[in-house]
Amino acid sequence: MPPESHETAYSRATPRLRGYHTETRNCSSMTIGEKIANLRSAAHISQEQLAEELSVSRQSVSKWEVNQSLPQIENILTLCRLFRVTADALLRDDISLFGDVPGQKSAINETGAKNKYFGTDGFRGEANVTLTADHAYRVGRFLGWYYASPLSGFHMPNYRPRILIGKDTRRSSYMLEYAIAAGLTASGADAYMLHVTTTPSVSYVTRTDEFDCGIMITASHNPFYDNGIKLINRYGEKMDDATTALVEAYLDGDVQRLGLDGNELPLARREAVGSIVDYVAGRNRYVGYLISLASHSYREMKIGLDCANGASWMIAKAVFEALGARTYVMGTAPNGLNVNDGCGSTHIDALRKFVLENHLDVGFAFDGDADRCIAVDERGQTVDGDCILYILATRLAARGALGGNTVVCTVMSNSGLFKSLEAAGIRSEQTAVGDRFVYECMQQNGYSLGGEQSGHIILRKYATTGDGLLTAIMLAEEMRDRKASLSQLAAPVLLYPQTVRSIRVTDKSAAMNDPIIRAEFDAVNREIGGNGRALLRASGTEPVLRIMLECETEALCSSFTDRIADVIRKRGYCCE
């Protein structure tokens, strides 16, 4: 698509410039210099272009932005006019330019209502059954309209939102991608296409390239016939419930909830129709970023990579070969129907066998969108998310970089992890299952490391979401730094035998609250006593209950799990 032509630097910037919502916040004060820098960056204009518009030198603009000097009054008035903000908003430190703050939920709309479509990891379900192309088009329509509307916290006429889209390798991902792009452009937004890429790359590019939001089309570790839509805010974080509640209102036809008359969002016309832009360069910058984080060459390392026939099938090999590793790959022949099929982080036995057969130093398995990583050591033993958290926690603690000397885990983490961390002098906090809840706890408390047993690992210094490739690099770095094998690094973690069984049910909520099921669950916990624990939880993304047992032996785990599963079946909730 040929680039658009523009008359001047400022006219080029104006269509992309955010109209900033302002409000008083004690927690997010900004100097005038920081505000000028943010406004200029959001407008996508250089210091030279702004200096030309103001008839000052570039050095003057640079000094304002680093708080070495202040603009003259006439320049302040011109800045207010150019960026469409008030003088109060520009000059007062206690007024934020933004309607939201990284890591905090939006206060624009009420929260607390349970979402209908969006779970803990987006809108997910069987493609063209639960999640249809029409849903995808309407999600695009809403987001394209929302980010140009006052409802989003921005006030600027004719603002043209920029929204990033990535997808995994499922056949239905292409259908949903085109539907979302059609909806976005019909509402007047520009859709920037990363094509097949990972969820963490969408998060990274959204944040660093200052998009209004990001969209990832994936069902992560689910089978190919499922798909999903993950929404990412401009800070690279998962979208808050208040905003997704508005998306759902539009999906259900409640346009009045959006403050509009009529029964449909307005359509963009003529030159206001959005553009579709190829943005593969953004994905390439993400690859470069990952490579830049490594301080060692992996030239002598033999590394296995299981890409699950998913989003990392090209990226993972490129990253590790650029770092000098001898790579051995599997799960790199996606055909749209084989993502996660007998491979990837949820089918780790394939990589275990692969590592032993090829005498590899280490193996890393990713899921469909590569926000998870499960490792395999040189002996073919699985190193799950709990063990990875321990290895990275001790690495950061030794460098004085473990925020709060605390690791954030979930209630599904193995009790052995908590004891191993305690023995290493490291504290832990538990959250509900879901990397979103882990990240919120980290953000609120200043913690730097958190994750899940499933392999979602968040290193907040480098990313705002779980990133399988980043996790793999950090493990390889620790192996290099310590001159140790992965089995040696994981050896201090003594995990209890644990089983997790997933049962597909007709009604998660009813089964979770069934008094007979609860009574059996409580009875099992009493019998276990202090030598383990039982957990029963509903999946946030599937119609599934998960039974987790930790006991002194695997036989006891299986026995107790069978008891609880039996009661669920007898109560008529199973649909398998």
Give the catalytic positions in this structure.
220
- Two structure tokens written together for 496: 């209890």
Cα 471 to Cα 373: distance, rounded to the nearest angstrom: 7
Query: How are strands ordered across the β-sheet holding 326-330?
Result: 326-330, 302-306, 362-366, 373-376, 382-383
User: Do residues 437 and 372 lie in contact, with contact meaning Cβ atoms separated by under 8 Å?
Assistant: no
CA dihedral 334, 335, 338, 342 (to 10 degrees): -50
> In the sheet that 213-217 helps form, which strands lie side by side, from edge to edge?
118-119, 122-126, 226-232, 213-217, 162-167, 190-196, 276-278
Could you say which DSSP state residue 529 is in?
T
Structure tokens at 420: 């191993």
CA 214 to chain CA centroid, Å, is: 10
Q: How far apart are alpha carbons 535 and 560 in whole angstroms?
A: 11
Residue partners of 519: CB distance under 8 A and separation at least 6 = none
Helix (H) / strand (E) element for 272: namely none
Quote the CA–CA distance of 525 and 502 in Å, as a whole number: 19
- Give the SS3 label for residue 407: strand
Beta bridge partners of 162: 190
**Strands 302-306 and 362-366, how do they pair?**
parallel
Tokens representing 176? 């949903």
Pairing mode of beta strands 162-167, 190-196: parallel
φ, ψ of residue 428 in degrees (nearest 5): -140, 150
- Is the Cβ–Cβ distance between 325 and 299 less than 8 Å? yes
**CA distances (Å), origin 88, targets 82, 93, 205, 279:** 15, 9, 32, 37
Q: What is the DSSP string of 436-474?
A: HHHHHHHHHHT--EEE-TTS-EEETTT-SS--HHHHHHH
Burial 288-299 (b: 16+ CB within 10 A, else e): ebbeebbeeebe
Measured distance CA(569)–CA(92) in Å, rounded: 63
Using alpha carbons, select from 553, 384, 507, 519 the residue that is nearest to residue 454. 384
Distance of CA 467 to the CA centre of its chain: 8
Dihedral (CA of 440, 444, 445, 446) sign:
positive
- Alpha carbon distance 472, 8 (integer Å): 46
